[in-house]
């Protein structure tokens, strides 16, 4: 199995706030991430696809097609947007890095697995919120 | 002259919008940066102080004091905040990277020049909005 | 399973020297890393915690609590210190990157698994000694 | 198991072109990567070796020996070379990142497993073609 | 004066070879950079524009317009190309980093100074050939 | 004028301590940087040479010669060493980043200006002590 990886970037506003909980709970749990006027990040998304390279092309997936899928499914919907208010597939999802990366994985899985070599898989998605904080969703580890 | 440099980080939401202009003007000029629900960035600020190192300490400025000043003057006021709504010294300033970096320079100048060696100067402030976009204010070049 | 990651930094002196071996053995095996007057590094530690995000908070672990644990267990004990002489939990451990990362994993495991979601695990610890050299301890791969 | 990692760099020219296919097929499949006058990259190779640290040395593998092997097996053959024309062990291999990383893995496996601790393994090789595109070969995941 | 900066990337093949000199001279002077089958790099270009921010827009230059100019003048002509053979404005220029960055400056100067605020200047162009090697052309320093 | 830049790395131990001052003064002024058992850093040195490219070679200075000079004058003397105890040209110099960068500049000036084009100058030396802290010596700015 070979793993191919592609990074992409988007900038967005968000706020950690659970609307089913009290103001006090939200302030205590989320601290400054709960600030009502939003804050934001330069997110970096990294997509990992696994498969056997196609013998004709040498590709697990054409990385420019992979970028087009990330662009269409994630960047166009999230870039310069508010992740709590503006993104259809994040509706009702609290935008912690953990929840975002899982939502991005399932948003990308079907179109990527159609475009890659037969038997290829969306192996993992990683999301960097800052240079120091990140999350990864990978259903193939620690089952 | 020796130049010492210290980086710091903050995350904030903002929006490019000139309230004295029409909606059409704002959309045309700022494009997706005008999005009404805000977007955000992981800003990196880099502060450059120039001076002759103190013969006793070897310091132009103690970098931990420099960090405390950046923390007090910039990070506490801007981190996890909305740059259009929440920051006193940015009131009335359109938060383009150019305008932000100039405002940061003048916010930092006095406390830094008090804390550094005699004759030392706040030489420049740089602000990275993304990995690819940045601005710098330096009154000592291109006079 | 979602994996969350947090980076932290510390600066330390060390020396590779096995006191049970001769000077010649140490010089031959460790070369310039055996230098008697020490040398040092800017270490980057990366901690990976795995678990199902809490449905209320969206968190596998609050990353600021994770940082506090890394700070208390690793940074306060190792930063601006000598890893051969000053750190209680490294006593008797030869400070190769391999041995350090394993010691850091077991130093962090209990407090992190208490602070994260139920069923969560300290999945891996990575330690970068330089931009080019690193080690990782992960008991869940290659069993 | 502890994993040790070492990065190395080389610069090379290449071109994606399958000589068994028509010009049209090659242009359609590879786009600008098929340009006949070549293009090139600053490749970063990252080698991951897994094993139990030797109790005497604290090493899974001496990282300077690991670097010598990467230098001898990969860098000397590929640096400032044309990957389609100049490298013996890539003869007949279409130099996609996927195919390169797999060829590098098998080029490195034997000498590394001779030089590391008993039971140690070449766990994975990663190859960054650009800051955004990479591939990894690891025979121990997703079997 | 505020300085705004924008980075862009391209991948290209090149070779250092002075056709007016002998093979021996070229091999001695350029070493492996003279390899006849070419080699290549991931170049990073950084463009610095100086001016007073426009009071209406807050911009020295709209960074998306700046990117369009870099794209049109540099990236489209150089990306996935051979810098010795394929680029009109580099015809007859030996593609050392020094010569490239100077040629890029003059290729960019006129369109950028038309698109920026009145009195604005193309202050400098920087070109990174590798992570360790770079050149800068700036006509305003060291006159 | 074209500016060429070369980065190099070394790892070293040091301690901030002024032997002419009391223990109390040293502890108060330098805090944890005064720790008696040393600490250390991965230093990055960046050397900037200015000149008109040679018309035959296209070089201000051959970057591999520049690297050899940095290697001989700085890296061999400082790498895996103690900057307070082991380096001849730092004898009696308190190893703050400010003092180090100035000493490195004068250590490099003569051999670099002999090896570069006529009229070329060692323009600046930058020294990164950590990812966030750096100093630069440049005698041509802010005179």
Q: Is F46 on the interface with B (CB under 8 A)?
A: no
pLDDT of residue D136: 98
Q: CA-nearest residue of chain F to B6?
A: F133
Q: Is A125 on the interface with C (CB under 8 A)?
A: no
d(CA B125, CA A24): 38
Q: Which two tokens stand for residue A80?
A: 């310069």
Q: CA-nearest residue of chain D to C132?
A: D7
Q: Which two tokens stand for residue D4?
A: 């040790």
Q: Is E14 on the interface with D (CB under 8 A)?
A: yes
Q: Which residues of F127-140 are buried (b: 16+ CB within 10 A; e: fewer)?
A: bbbbebbbbbbbee
Residue C142 pLDDT level (bands cut at 50, 70, 90):
confident
Q: Residue A142 above 90 pLDDT?
A: no
pLDDT of residue D24: 98
Q: What angle do CA F107, F108, F114 make, to 5 degrees?
A: 125
Mean pLDDT for E20-40 is 98
User: What's the pLDDT tens digit per position in B56-71?
Assistant: 999 999 999 999 999 9
Q: CA-nearest residue of chain E to F49?
A: E135
Q: How far is C93 from chain D (nearest CA, A)?
A: 9
CB count within 10 Å of CB F55 equals 10
d(CA B6, CA C49): 31
d(CA A32, CA A26): 10
For the purposes of burial, counting CB atoms within 10 Å of the CB of E35, is it exposed (0-12), middle (13-18) or buried (19 or more)?
buried
Q: Which chains are within 8 Å of E by 3+ CB pairs?
A: B, D, F
Interface contacts (A, B; CB < 8 Å): 75
Q: Is F140 helix (H, G, I), strand (E, B) or coil?
A: coil
Q: Is F137 on the interface with B (CB under 8 A)?
A: yes
User: What's the pLDDT tens digit per position in B16-56?
Assistant: 999 999 999 999 999 999 999 999 999 999 999 999 999 99
Does the CA dihedral F129-F130-F131-F134 come out positive or negative?
negative
CB contact under 8 A, D80 and E11: no
d(CA E134, CA E126): 7
Specify the residue for token string 């990330």. A70
User: What's the pLDDT tens digit per position in C33-72?
Assistant: 999 999 999 999 999 999 999 999 999 999 999 999 999 9
Q: Which two tokens stand for residue A93?
A: 């999802």
Write down the catalytic residue from D33, D46, D136, D138. D33
Q: Shortest CB distance from D13 goes to which of E40, E86, E131?
A: E40
CB contact under 8 A, E98 and F53: yes
CA distances from F8 to D47, D102, E125 (A): 22, 31, 22
d(CA E17, CA E26): 6
CB contact under 8 A, D3 and C94: no
For residue F97, list chain B residues with Cβ-Cβ distance below 8 A.
4
CB contact under 8 A, E32 and D79: yes
Interface contacts (C, F; CB < 8 Å): 75
Q: Residue F30 above 80 pLDDT?
A: yes
pLDDT of residue E142: 85
Q: Is D17 on the interface with E (CB under 8 A)?
A: no
Q: In the structure, how many helices (H) and strands (E) does chain B have?
A: 4, 5
Q: How far is D127 from chain A (nearest CA, A)?
A: 9
Domain C2-142, classified CATH 3.30.479.10, yes or no: yes
Own/partner long-range contacts of B65-73 (Cβ < 8 Å, ≥24 apart)? B65/B115, B66/B4, B66/B6, B66/B112, B66/B115, B66/B116, B67/B6, B67/B8, B69/B108, B69/B111, B69/B112, B69/B115, B70/B6, B70/B8, B70/B45, B70/B108, B71/B8, B72/B111, B73/B107, B73/B108, B73/B111
Half-sphere exposure of residue A88: CA atoms within 13 angstroms, side-chain side? 6
Q: How far is E116 from chain F (nearest CA, A)?
A: 24
CB contact under 8 A, A39 and B40: yes
Q: Is B51 helix (H, G, I), strand (E, B) or coil?
A: strand
User: What's the pLDDT tens digit per position in B73-131?
Assistant: 999 999 999 999 999 999 999 999 999 999 999 999 999 999 999 999 999 999 999 99
Q: How far is A103 from chain D (nearest CA, A)?
A: 22
Q: Which chains are within 8 Å of A by 3+ CB pairs?
A: B, C, D
Q: Which two tokens stand for residue A106?
A: 């399932």
Q: Is D47 on the interface with C (CB under 8 A)?
A: no
Query: What is the secondary structure of C38-95 as a DSSP string?
Result: -EEEEEEEEEEEEEPPPTTT--SS-HHHHHHHHIIIIIHHHTTEETTTS-GGGTT---
Specify the residue for token string 């001076």. B51
CB contact under 8 A, C11 and F81: no
CB contact under 8 A, D139 and A2: no
Interface contacts (A, D; CB < 8 Å): 65
Residue B142 pLDDT level (bands cut at 50, 70, 90):
confident
Q: How far is D6 from chain A (nearest CA, A)?
A: 19
Query: What is the secondary structure of A9-67 as a DSSP string?
Result: EEEEEE----TTS-HHHHHHHHGGGG-TT-EEEEEEEEEEEEEPPPTTT--SS-HHHHH
Which bin fits C86, alpha (ψ -120 to 50), beta or left (φ > 0)? alpha
Q: Is F117 helix (H, G, I), strand (E, B) or coil?
A: coil
For residue E95, list chain D residues with Cβ-Cβ distance below 8 A.
none
Mean pLDDT for F84-105 is 98
Beta bridge partners of F6: E133, F47
Q: Are strands D121-128 and D133-137 parallel, antiparallel or unpaired?
A: antiparallel
Residue C9 pLDDT level (bands cut at 50, 70, 90):
very high
Weakest mean pLDDT among A109-113, A139-143, C48-52, D104-108: A139-143
d(CA A49, CA D136): 10
Write down the catalytic residue from E52, E80, E98, E110. E80
Evaluate whether chains B and E are touching (3 or more beta carbon pairs less than 8 Å apart): yes
Q: Which residues of D73-100 are buried (b: 16+ CB within 10 A; e: fewer)?
A: bbbebbbbbbbbebbeebeeebbbbbbb
Write down the catalytic residue from C72, C76, C80, C110. C80
pLDDT of residue B126: 98
For residue A68, list chain D residues with Cβ-Cβ distance below 8 A.
none
Q: Residue A31 above 80 pLDDT?
A: yes
CB contact under 8 A, D1 and C142: yes
pTM greater than 0.90: yes
CB contact under 8 A, A53 and D98: yes
d(CA F77, CA F92): 16
Q: CA-nearest residue of chain E to B94?
A: E58
Q: Shortest CB distance from D135 goes to which of A4, A121, A140?
A: A4
Q: Residue A8 above 90 pLDDT?
A: yes
pLDDT of residue A37: 98
Q: Which residues of B9-36 are buried (b: 16+ CB within 10 A; e: fewer)?
A: ebbbbbbbbbeeeeeeebeebbeebbbe
Residues in chain D: 143
Mean pLDDT for E7-16 is 98
- Cβ within 8 Å of residue D55, ≥6 positions away: none
For residue D142, list chain C residues with Cβ-Cβ distance below 8 A.
none
Q: Shortest CB distance from B31 goes to which of E5, E8, E64?
A: E64
| Nearest residue to D102 via CA among D70, D77, D138 | D138
- Asked if residue C26 lies in contact with residue C18, where contact means CB atoms within 8 angstroms, the answer is yes
d(CA D102, CA D125): 8
Q: Is E9 on the interface with D (CB under 8 A)?
A: yes
Specify the residue for token string 């600020």. B45
Q: Which two tokens stand for residue C5?
A: 């990651």
For residue B104, list chain E residues with Cβ-Cβ distance below 8 A.
none
**CA C46 distance to own-chain centroid:** 8
Q: Which chains are within 8 Å of F by 3+ CB pairs?
A: B, C, E
pLDDT of residue D142: 85
C7, C8, C10, C11: best mutation site toward chain F, by most F Cβ within 10 Å?
A: C11
The verdict on whether A17 is a catalytic residue reads no
Q: Residue F82 above 80 pLDDT?
A: yes
Q: Is B99 on the interface with A (CB under 8 A)?
A: no
Q: Is E79 on the interface with D (CB under 8 A)?
A: yes
Q: Is C98 on the interface with D (CB under 8 A)?
A: yes
The residues of F that are catalytic are 33, 80, 129
Evaluate whether chains D and F are touching (3 or more beta carbon pairs less than 8 Å apart): no
User: What's the pLDDT tens digit per position in D85-114?
Assistant: 999 999 999 999 999 999 999 999 999 999
Q: Shortest CB distance from B7 goes to which of F99, F132, F141?
A: F132
Q: Is C133 on the interface with D (CB under 8 A)?
A: yes
The verdict on whether D129 is a catalytic residue reads yes
Q: Which chains are within 8 Å of C by 3+ CB pairs?
A: A, D, F
Q: CA-nearest residue of chain B to A83?
A: B39
Q: Residue B143 above 90 pLDDT?
A: no
Q: CA-nearest residue of chain C to F31?
A: C80
User: What's the pLDDT tens digit per position in A64-85?
Assistant: 999 999 999 999 999 999 999 9
- Asked if residue B56 lies in contact with residue F21, where contact means CB atoms within 8 angstroms, the answer is yes
For the purposes of burial, counting CB atoms within 10 Å of the CB of C43, is it exposed (0-12), middle (13-18) or buried (19 or more)?
buried
CB contact under 8 A, A41 and B14: no
């Amino acid at each position: 199995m070979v793993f191919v990886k592609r990074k992409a970037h988007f900038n967005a506003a968000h706020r950690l706030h659970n609307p089913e909980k009290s103001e006090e709970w939200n302030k205590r749990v989320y601290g400054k991430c709960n600030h009502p006027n939003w804050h934001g990040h330069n997110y970096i998304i990294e997509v990992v696809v696994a498969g056997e390279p196609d013998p004709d092309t040498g590709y697990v997936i054409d990385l420019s097609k992979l970028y087009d899928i990330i662009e269409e499914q994630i960047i166009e919907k999230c870039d310069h947007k508010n992740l709590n208010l503006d993104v259809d597939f994040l509706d009702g999802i609290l935008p912690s890095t953990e929840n975002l990366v899982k939502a991005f994985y399932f948003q990308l899985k079907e179109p990527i697995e159609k475009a890659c070599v037969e038997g290829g898989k969306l192996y993992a998605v990683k999301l960097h919120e800052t240079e120091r904080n990140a999350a990864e969703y990978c259903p193939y580890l620690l089952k």
